């Protein structure tokens, strides 16, 4: 397994575990919030009370994991876009260089052809005299 595949597998397992824990303990979070609703004066104290329960800690862990996975996905996407842009630039440069080489080869071939044609006309030998033209 490549390192990238290992990382994807670990991330998938962690996300699956966090979702499972959140689904299995979500009722505890709501139970704690609702139990302390009348006694608490602010959202902060209600949320703090819920966080000290087992379900609250799992919720916090799953939220942190979700945020970190989202950030990682964003940065991987940015890196993939940079790599694709670099590959496209390299491909364009390669195509331009190949085109220049091809044009240079055609120019050389046309010069060589003109030299051979010109050299054949400079020969003063006649076909009628029986001498073979080279």
In a domain, 116, yes or no: no
Q: Are 36 and 49 in contact (CB under 8 A)?
A: yes
Total domains in the fold of the chain: 1
In a domain, 123, yes or no: no
Residue range 27-53: mean pLDDT, rounded: 71
Q: Are 51 and 57 in contact (CB under 8 A)?
A: yes
In a domain, 91, yes or no: yes
Closest CA to 1 of 12, 109, 128: 12
Q: Which domain holds residue 61?
A: 3-99
Express as a percent the part of the chain with pLDDT over 90: 21
In a domain, 127, yes or no: no
pLDDT in tens, 95-128: 999 999 999 999 888 888 777 776 555 445 555 5
In a domain, 108, yes or no: no
In a domain, 68, yes or no: yes
For the chain, what is the mean pLDDT? Answer: 77
- H helices of 36-53, in order, are 43-51
Q: Are 9 and 1 in contact (CB under 8 A)?
A: yes
Give the chain's radius of gyration (CA, Å).
38
Identify the pLDDT of residue 63: 76
Give the pLDDT band of residue 130 (cuts 50, 70, 90): low
In a domain, 34, yes or no: yes
pLDDT reading at 24 higher than 80: no
Give the other-Cβ count within 10 Å of 134's Cβ: 7
Identify the pLDDT of residue 131: 58
> Considering the entire predicted model, what is its pTM?
0.42
In a domain, 8, yes or no: yes
Q: Are 68 and 76 in contact (CB under 8 A)?
A: no
């Amino acid at each position: 397994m490549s390192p990238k595949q290992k990382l994807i597998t670990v991330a998938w397992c962690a996300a699956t575990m966090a979702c499972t824990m959140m689904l299995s303990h979500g009722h505890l979070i709501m139970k704690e919030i609702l139990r302390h609703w009348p006694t608490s004066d602010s959202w902060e104290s209600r949320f703090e009370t819920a966080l000290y329960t087992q379900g609250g800690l799992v919720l916090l862990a799953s939220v942190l994991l979700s945020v970190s996975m989202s950030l990682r996905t964003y940065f991987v996407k940015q890196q993939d876009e940079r790599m694709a842009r670099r590959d496209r630039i390299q491909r364009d440069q390669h195509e331009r260089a190949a085109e220049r080489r091809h044009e240079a080869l055609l120019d050389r071939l046309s010069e060589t052809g003109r030299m051979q044609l010109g050299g054949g006309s400079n020969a003063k030998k006649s076909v009628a005299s029986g001498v073979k033209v080279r």
